[in-house]
Structure 1
Amino acid sequence: MSAAVVTGVGAVTPHGIGVEAYWEGTMAGRSAIRPVTRFDPASYPVRIAGEVPGFSAAEHVPSRIVPQTDHWTHLGLAAAAMALDDSGIDPAGMPEYEMAVVTASSSGGTEFGQKEMVNLWGRGPEFVGAYQSIAWFYAATTGQISIRHGMRGPCGVIATEQAGGLDAVAQSRRLLRDGTRMVVSGGTDASLCPYGLVAQLSTRALSVRPDPERAYLPFDAEACGYVPGEGGALLIVEDGGHARDRGAGRVYGEIAGYGATFDPPPGSDRPPTLRRAIEKALDDAGVAPDDVDVVFADAMGVPEQDRAEADALTAVFGARGVPVTAPKTLTGRLYAGGAALDLLAALLSIRDSAIPPTAPVAGPVADALDLVLDGPREARVRTALVVARGYGGFNAALVVRAPG
C-alpha cells in the first residue's frame, strides 16, 4: 500500500489566520493568550483564553451558511478551504465518492446552542430556529465541509476531546487503505462562550490564574491547569501514489504510525496507558525511540497529569532522551483542534529543520525532560511524535516523518 501523506494544510489559530501566521507567532515564542473578548468574563473564574483574532465568517463562509452554523464550523470551513488550496486539489475534478472528510469534535456548537437556549427561555419555543437541530451537532463541521466541496465518500467525526485530532487523522489513513483517495482531516474547536466555558469548568482542570504569562505552565512546579483556546488545523491526507500521479506540488510528511489506548478509571490500581500508546505508535511506524527527533507533548498543565506524561516519555526515551516541546502553551489547549495543530507544527518542524519553543517552565518534572525553552532550536527533524490525551481517559500518539 502507498503511504498516507499530507499534501495541504490550513490553520485558524490564536496567532492569526493562516499557517504562516501561526508558525511565525509560534517560532517567535509570542503568547497569544489574552483577556477574553467574545463575552464578558467578569463573573467567571476563567477570564483569559486563546482567541482567534480578526476572524470574519463572512470572509470565509458562504453567506447563506453563516446563520445556519456555529463559530466552530466557520473556523473549520475556513481551514479546510486553505488546506485544499494549499494542496492544489480541485474537488470538482475528483470522483466525489473517493473524497472523504473526518474531523475531530469535542464540545460541538456551544455558542450557537447557547443563543438558541436563551431564545427558548427568554422568548419562547417559536423563537428557536430550525438550525439548532444541526448546528450544535458534533458532525456539523464534517457535514458542512463535505457539502461545500462535494465530498461524498466515507465521512465521519471522532469525539475524543484533545486526542481527537490524532484519532481523526489515523482514521483517514485507514480510509485510504480501503480505497479512498483523499481525506480532509484534523479538527477545530470554539467553546469560548459562557455555556462552553461552564461545561469545561466541570473538568476542574482549567487554570483560574489571571496572569496570561503564568496561567498555563505544564511541567512547572507552579502548574495549575490549562488555558482554553479556539481554532485548530485541517490537513489534506492523501494516498501517496495518487499524490505522485497527480503531480502534487508539496508533500509535508508521511503519517507513519499511530497508537491509542484508554486509561483505567480514576482510583484504579492500574497505571495510565499513555506509554503503551506511544510504544504502539513507534512500533506501527517501524521506528525505534532513538529515531525520534522531537516530541510534541500533550502538556495538560495539571500536576499529576504532567508527571504521568513525563514518566511515560522518560520510560520510552530515557531521561532527557529526546527534545520535547509544547507550543500550545502559547495558544491554550484547543480541545478538538489542539492535537491537529500540534501535528501541523510537527510537519512544519520537518519542513524548516527547527523545533518551536514552549513557555519557560522549571521544576522537578521539567528537569526530567529536554524541554525546548529558550527560543526555537535548530535541528534536523526527520521523525516527530505527537502525543495527545482527551478528557475521560483517551490517549493517542502519532508518528509523522519526512517524505521519502
Structure 2
Amino acid sequence: MGLLSNRIDRSSLKPGDHIYSWRTAYIYAHHGIYVGDDRVIHFTRRGQEVGTGTVLDLILVSSGPSRAHTHCPTCVPPNEGHGVVSSCLNCFLAGGVLYRFEYSVNAAHFLAKARGGTCTLAVSDPNEITVHRANHLLRNGFGCYDVFKNNCEDFAIYCKTGLLVLEGRMTMGQSGQAVSIIGGPIAAVLSTPMRLVTTNIYGMAATAVSVYCASRYATDIGMRADVAKVEVEDLTRRLSVGLFQVIEPPVAAIEVRGYYGDQRFGASNVSPFYQGHKNTTVVGTNIAGQSLVMLNGGDRRDMDEDVKSAIYRIDAKLRLKIRFKFGLIKSWKFKPKIRCDLKVPLSSSNTTSRFQFQRTKCDVDF
C-alpha cells in the first residue's frame, strides 16, 4: 500500500479490513468488509449479489469479459429482504485485483489520490467493531440501495467508522466515488466564469482542478459537519420503522467564546444569518460569564500592562458553520476556525474616554 496504489496480497488481509476491487475498466469500484474465513460482507442491489458488481453495471458499458451467472456453493444465499450479502473472496473480486481502503490519511496524501473512493481522512474504529457491524447488518440490512446516497462504499465506511450523514443536509452519502462523479462536472461549471477574466486555458484548468480537489476534501466523511456516530443497533431499529438516516437537529447558533490569555471567561450566541453579495451584516452580543479567571505568569504580566493602559486585550473565538452559494449551487458546510483579537476599554477608566472600537480583521482558518 502506498501513494500510487492500495493493492495488497490476500495473505495480508485481516478481519475488519475495508477492501475493494475495480470494475468495468477501472471506471468504478465495488467495496466490502473482509470478516475472515475467506468471507466478504458487502452491499448490493438485490439480484446482483455475487460476481456481477453493482447497479452501475446497468448504467456503464462494460469493457471487460462477461461472467456466467453461476451459483457459488461456498457463498451464503442472499437474503430476499435486503441487499447485504456474504460472499467468498473470489466471487467478491469477480476476477479483479484486491485493494485495501485507507483511513486516517493526511490531507496531502488524500488530495494526491485523484480518484475518489480509495482513502479518507476519517479515523476508523477497531477491527472487531467493524466485523460486528458488518455481521449485524448482514442479518438486518442497510436500507435501500442508491448509487449516490447509499451504495457499497457508504456501507463499508459506516462499518469502519459508525458515521452516517444527517438527513436533509445533502443529496450524497459518504461515498468518495459519488463525489468524484459529481465533482468533475461541477468543477467544470464553476471554472467557466474564469473566461470573463482570462482566456488562458491553463488558468481555467487550474481553477477546475482546484474546485474538484476542494469539493473532494470538503465532502470527505472525516471533514463533513453533517455526520453523526450511530450505533448499529440503533441504525437497524430506525431501518425497521423506515427511518434510515439520522434526523437533523435544529439549526445551531453561532457561538462566540471570550478568552483572556488562554483562559475562557464567557460565551454567548448569535443567530445565524445570510450574508449577501457586497453588503455588510452587523450583529452584536454580550459575552456573559465568570468574573474570576486563573492566569499564569505570562498572562498576569499582560494583565498588568492592560490595567495600566485601561484597555484589555480580549480574544473572541467563533464556532459556526459556513456554506457558499454560487448561483443556484450551494457548497457543503465548512467549520472554520475564526479568532478575533479585540481591544476592549475599561468602562470605569477616564483615560479611555476618547477610545473608540476599531474594525478588526479576524484570522479565518478553513
Scaled by the length of structure 1, the TM-score of the pair is: 0.23
Q: Greater helix share, 1 or 2? A: 1
> Rg larger in 1 or in 2?
2
Which fold has the larger relative contact order, with Cα–Cα distance below 8 Å and residues 6 or more apart in sequence? 1
